[in-house]
Structure 1
Amino acid sequence: MFDHFVWSVVAVPVALVVVIALLADRLPPARAARVLAWSAAGTALASVLNVAAFAVVAAAEIPVIAGYFGWSYQTVIADTEQVRWVPWLCVVLLVWAAVAAGRVVRRHGGGRAWAAGLAAAEAHDGVVMVRSSAVDAFAVPGRPGQVVVTTGMRKILTDRQYEALLAHERAHLAQGHPLLVLLSDLAGAVQPALWWVSGRVGYLSERAADEQAAAVVGDRTVVAGAIGTVALAAHGRPPLQDVRFASFARPRRPGAIPRRVAALLGHQNAGGRAWPAVIPAVLAVSSLIWTGEALYDLVELLVLAHDALH
């Protein structure tokens, strides 16, 4: 089982980060966001299942637990004799993953509950206008989804820029970006090697929404101008107070705004080849398959440990 651990918990997550760093900018942003989020989620799931399998092995090494289930703890210990540290490390990693995943779920759930209540009370044509001097806007997933905009945001935008803003936020809803962000956040939480992927998915989601907004408005310079205007106006000003709960309102990453503007003005990444997306997907699938073998090996070990006492 140790080879499965090395492949799925160590090698594939690191390889996925390297592949994403090399290929993400070569894919259309909408496709890249989907592939990266799902690949990271699959890789993280494989990693957690491997860790959980070894945590079961650790439990089976305890005489009291092994006796309760009718296993020979000596048989289990003999199987992991060369890597006795791995099962107990996996117990720690599993607890870490559970706590981290719980925090992400609570953060996303709390933000959505707050925003959904606000939207239900004040939505007009799918848009909720919040009275605040903060410069903020974000999409609230749901059925139907809503767009939350502060009066401070509306005040600084021209009508065309405001149209671009709404198109941008509606693109987040139409393309399922809140789910992709949640998946990547969970992946980064339970598998620290994938933490960087979470921020990358957030950036690519913004780029995909920029491209959709440019298609709706019909003028890429309007979208670029709106992004620049918002960035300048928001600089040094606190965000909407309750957005601290709304994790789907992505944090502003240094350097992201100039890159988004440059991509719009330079017509970058609107297209791109699709085939490189296969590489991260293959890595994730291979890790899941390898994990399936690890779980099979675990069952065989426990059957062997059971037979040793009967």
Structure 2
Amino acid sequence: MILAVWIPLLMPLLAVPAARRAAQSLPPRAAAWLLTGCAVALAVCTATALGLLLAAGALRLPPVAALGHLSLPLLGGDPAVTVPAAWAAAGLLTGCAATVVHRARRHRTELRTARRAADAHPRSGDLCVLPDPAPDAYALPGRPGRVVVTAGMLRALPPAEREALFAHERAHLAGRHHLFLLTAALAAACHPLLGSLRAPLAYALERWADEAAASRVGDRRVTARAIGRAALAAGPSAPGPHRPGTVLAATAGPVPRRVAALLSPERVPGHPPIRRGCYGRRLLAAALLACVTFSTAAALDAAADLHETVEVAQGEAAH
């Protein structure tokens, strides 16, 4: 177990770059699911490995071994290594759990604060207008979800582009995109390397909403102009005081790349996709699948090995 248990802790070194590269060659929706699924799988494997290290070291302690009726000599491993590793794993697991709870609570608190602020202003259906001169717009999830826009943003866009902007934010609500970001943030609490998946995930979610808005309004150029004009109006200033840090906005991310993607020729339905780079994409997908599978298999193997060792030690102690 002592070797297999380290594999899930090291595998993100290979899996995270592969996931980032693979997401670049996928449609936005598929890229968002890939990045989120990869983050969850690697985080679960990391937490499992830390738990196994903690269990293996704790079982070496005489009080724990006596409680489980174990024969210490048959547990194997060097106590000088397994016990300190267990203490380190306990500290890391505690830190992970505290970070997960803190981020989840902060997310909930920010949403509640934003909804109270939005409910204090006039609404029209799912649209809420804040009397703020600073241009801003974002999707506020909840029951029901709200599209929050400031008076400054409404003044900055002509009517057709406003509708494209609203369609973008409604796509965020319909796809529950904030849950993708929250899941990735909670996964990053288990392994620091997983934090680097947030930027490509946010970009994929924005592109997903861009395409949904373009389909809704029926004009990719109008959607591109709406995104670009809204970003220019908002400028590099910080988000408004009421916008939660975990929600998505049309002005976020690398806007020039998003506008260029919207202005690129759309593939005709039924037309076969371009095969250029297909081999490279398959290699990336295979590498990522191998990394996640190997990490999962290593965690399961370490768990099975620890379980078998404990059973042998219990059987010997019984004799």
TM range (shorter): 0.7 to 0.9
Distance 1:160 1:282 in 2: 47
- The residue that corresponds to 2:303 in the other structure is 295
Question: Secondary structure of 1:70's partner?
Answer: coil
In structure 1, what residue type is equivalent to 2:312?
L
* Structure 1 match to 2:317: 309
Listed one character per residue, the Cα deviations across residues 241-284 of structure 1 (whole Å, up to 9, x for unaligned) are 122x4412369777x12211222222489988898595445543
Q: Is the 8 A contact 2:167 2:213 kept in 1?
A: yes
Separation in structure 2 between the aligned mates of residue 5 and residue 143 of structure 1, nearest angstrom: 42
CA–CA separation in structure 2 for the residues paired with 1:145 and 1:136: 17
Native 8 Å contact 1:178 1:248 kept in 2: yes
Aligned to 2:174: 174
What is residue 106 of structure 2 aligned with on the other side?
Answer: 107
Q: CA separation of 1:237/1:36 partners in 2, compared to 1, >3 Å: closer, same or farther?
A: closer
Alpha-carbon distance in 2 for matches of 1:269, 1:86: 54
Corresponding residue SS for 1:295: helix
Q: Contact conserved, 1:25 with 1:269, CA < 8 A, in 2?
A: no
8 Å contact from structure 1 (residues 29, 207) kept in 2: yes
Q: Distance in 1 between matches of 2:28 and 2:313?
A: 50
2:148 & 2:78 partners in 1: Cα distance? Answer: 54
Aligned runs of 1:118-137 on 2, under 5 Å? Answer: 118=117, 123-137=123-137
Q: Which amino acid aligns with 2:258?
A: R
SS at match of 2:242: helix
Report what 2:77 is aligned to.
Answer: 79
1:20 aligns with 2:14: no
Conserved? CA contact 1:168–1:209, under 8 Å: yes
User: What CA distance in whole angstroms lies between the structure 2 residues aligned with 1:259 and 1:29?
Assistant: 13
Q: Compute the displacement of 1:202 (Å).
A: 0.9
Of 99-108 and 282-291, the range deviating more from structure 2: 282-291
**Aligned mates of 1:269, 1:259 — CA distance in 2:** 18
Distance 1:63 1:72 in 2: 10
Q: Distance in 2 between matches of 1:268 and 1:26?
A: 16
TM-superposed deviation, 1:308: 4.0
Name the counterpart of 1:41. 40
Query: What 5-or-longer segments of structure 2 have no aligned partner?
Result: none
Partner Cα distance (1:233, 1:72) in 2 = 70
Q: Please list, as runs of the form range in 1=range in 2, the aligned pairs for 1:259-278 lying within 5 A after superposition.
A: 259-267=257-265, 276=282
One-letter amino acid matched to 2:315:
D
Q: What is the distance in 2 between the residues matched to 1:62 and 1:147?
A: 56
1:188-208, Cα deviation, whole Å (9 max, x unpaired): 221111111122111110011
Query: Would the alpha carbon gap of residues 283 and 225 (structure 1) be closer, same or farther in structure 2, given more than 3 Å must change?
Result: same
Q: CA RMSD in A?
A: 2.9
Q: Could you tell me which residue of structure 1 aligns to residue 220 of structure 2? A: 220
Deviation at 1:57, TM superposition (A): 1.8
Contact kept, 8 Å, 2:45 with 2:295, in 1: the verdict is: yes
> What letter is aligned with 1:101?
V
CA deviations on 1:8-63 (whole Å, 9 max, x unpaired) are 1212x122212123221110011111121112111111111111111122222232
- AA partner of residue 200 (structure 2): R
The answer as to whether partners of 1:27 and 1:269 remain within 8 angstroms in 2 is no
Q: Residue 48 and residue 295 in structure 1: after superposition, are their counterparts in 2 closer, same or farther (change >3 A)?
A: same
CA deviations over 1:45-98 (Å, ceiling 9, x no partner): 11111111111222222323333333345544x335695354333223212211
Structure number with bigger Rg? 2
Query: Could you tell me which residue of structure 2 aligns to residue 61 of structure 1?
Result: 60
